[in-house]
Amino acid sequence: MNTLNKETAKQLASSATILNGGALDVENQIVHIGIGGFHRSHQAFALAKLINTDPEQYQKWQITGVGLMPNDLKLVEHFNQQDHIYALRTIAYDKKEKTYLISTIKDMLHSSLNTQGIIDKIANPNTKIISFTITEGGYLVDFDKNQFQIDNVDIQYDLQHRGRPRTVFGFLAAGLAARMAQGGTPLIMMSCDNILGNGDVLRLALLSFLEAYDTQIREWVASEFTFPNSMVDRITPITTEKDKDNFEEQYGLRDNCLVVSEDFFQWVIEMPASHDDFPPLDQVGVQFVQHVAPYEGMKLGILNAGHTLVGLLGDAFGYDRIHDAVQDRTIWKLFELFVDKEVIPVLEPIDGVDFKQYFEQVRTRFANPMINDSTARIISGTSDKFPKFVLPTIQKQLKRNDSRIDISALIVALWWKYLNKQMWDDNMAYVQDSLKEEWLRVFQDELDSADDFLAYSPVFGELSDITNFNSKYKDAIAAIRENRLGQYIDTILF
Ligand code: CS2
């Protein structure tokens, strides 16, 4: 078996787009934490396109990837074996495929192999940007209180073991301490996660951690660092062995770092008018705007919350693929009604953007069978996603006179249904969720679980005290318990 690497990549010169990553001996200026598929299909791809336009000038915008999770370790090993090259395959709805060979990620470091290397790279004066895809839950911020979880065990560990950090915040603090001691320049800290005000949330989390770590570093970061907010978008399912087999069959090479995604790409970054020390990504289709919040609201409210609805209802109807679920007539219509009546009315308008059209495009993207995304991926981590994807829409709806929250309440009930079933099938063995322990406790008592579930405020805020919402939720729960979910949805639809 031949593996993809610098040498073998040449065989693909006629069948793939090779994006020139520039010379590897140039010192790079970006450190990225969280090297999953999404980073490789999105930020690394956009930077590869930019560098390819003028390698000489832009190769400094190559990335040092950092993995902190145990399961990143394999990827780091494969990546190093492949001379830092990987393929991105994009597949459009009409089956048009493109394969890119990307070498923007100059090197990858893993916390368990190279603690000091990561700290040094953050401290290195040539590093200008640190970017993040650490998932919605990775910021350890309780959204009901807008508060960093300072009591988290790993955070406490990092506060007490400064040279041996475990968390992203411990690494940042250690790196920034060294950077400050060396008289280093301030950094741009760029979150690329699906959170409204992702930069603000990153800032809150980091400053809260530094408050307990070293107030001088905190002051420096608070007054001089920038934390741009952004909206990121490209559906990127988890790469399967089958994807790798297909790639190998077609190209005769094994790529263990392969990523497969849709062809759609969007990245909107809130940038001040002058932005030195930031790659001119607007040359390759990235939008720089003054206010990104309306774009984030649109994407999180329509696409991500839509995913949650389609994933949970799809699962309830027995589908395990998003494209099959969304094409079910009932789900197709309910998704439209949800966006039309509950989401769009509370969105902030954006010049030149038609939300209905945006929605139609999103629904078509979901229906792309080539992406083969799973309901399981979408449902995983709902505890961290719900407060960012769905809750803001509900909270805004509840402030209106004629609030429309039927389908949002149904989403919560469907999530209850999913967890309840997982509880009774396998004691939640297959549930991937940061609050699994909490849910195990709640669902042990089946009769009260629906009330206790909604009363969990770190996820649902005050929803259980709001009669209007609570009664809709209870209607949906009753329909689920009495096995008449289909009929109940019909009453919403017609
Ligand atoms: C998804 C996102 O995880 C989820 O629930 O909604 O990963 C989604 O695919 C991306 O945000 C698309 O940009």
Nearest residue (by CA) to ligand 1, atom 10, is 235
pLDDT for residue 163: 87
Nearest residue (by CA) to ligand 1, atom 13, is 233
Distance, CA of 112 to CA of 66 (rounded, Å)? 11
Tell me, in angstroms, the distance from the centre of ligand 1 to residue 434's CA.
17
- The conformation of residue 174, written as its DSSP 8-state character, comes to H
Q: Indicate if the pLDDT at residue 272 is higher than 90.
A: no
- Give the residue-averaged pLDDT of 245-255: 96
Q: Indicate if the pLDDT at residue 24 is higher than 80.
A: no
The answer to whether 89 and 260 are in contact (CB under 8 A) is: yes
Which domains does the chain carry? 8-289 (3.40.50.720), 293-493 (1.10.1040.10)
* Mean pLDDT for all residues in the chain: 95
Distance, CA of 237 to CA of 374 (rounded, Å)? 8
As given in the structure block, the two tokens for residue 150 are 């300072």
Global confidence as pTM? 0.96
- The conformation of residue 184, written as its DSSP 8-state character, comes to P
More confident residue, 22 or 391: 391
pLDDT for residue 273: 65
pLDDT tens column, 158-178 = 999 998 999 999 999 999 999
Tell me, in angstroms, the distance from the centre of ligand 1 to residue 171's CA.
26
SS3 of residue 291 by DSSP: coil
- Give the residue-averaged pLDDT of 16-27: 85
Ligand 1 in reach of 304 Cβ (< 6 A): yes
The answer to whether 101 and 19 are in contact (CB under 8 A) is: yes
Ligand 1 in reach of 299 Cβ (< 6 A): no
Ligand 1 in reach of 368 Cβ (< 6 A): no
pLDDT for residue 73: 96
Residue to mutate (ligand 1; options 262, 299, 378, 418; most atoms within 8 A of CB)? 378
Ligand 1 in reach of 316 Cβ (< 6 A): no
Ligand 1 in reach of 310 Cβ (< 6 A): no
pLDDT for residue 239: 96
pLDDT for residue 165: 96
Ligand 1 in reach of 307 Cβ (< 6 A): yes
pLDDT tens column, 129-149 = 999 999 999 999 998 889 999
The answer to whether 375 and 322 are in contact (CB under 8 A) is: yes
Nearest 5°: CA angle at 149, between 231 and 464?
80
How far is the CA of 25 from the CAs of 4, 338, 461, in angstroms? 21, 51, 50
pLDDT tens column, 208-227 = 999 999 999 999 999 999 99
Ligand 1 in reach of 235 Cβ (< 6 A): yes
Distance, CA of 458 to CA of 296 (rounded, Å)? 22
Q: Looking at ligand 1, which atom is closest to the CA of residue 377?
A: 3
Q: Where would I find the beta strands (DSSP E) of 28-116?
A: 30-33, 63-67, 86-91, 97-102, 105-110
Ligand 1 in reach of 194 Cβ (< 6 A): yes
Distance, CA of 478 to CA of 213 (rounded, Å)? 49
Q: Looking at ligand 1, which atom is closest to the CA of residue 385?
A: 5
Task: Name the CA radius of gyration of the chain, rounded.
Answer: 23
pLDDT tens column, 102-126 = 999 999 999 999 999 999 999 999 9
Contacts of 479-486 with C-beta under 8 Å, sequence gap 24+, read: 479/413, 480/413, 480/414, 480/416, 480/417, 485/316, 486/330
Distance, CA of 365 to CA of 235 (rounded, Å)? 8
> Cα dihedral sign for 45, 265, 380, 371?
negative
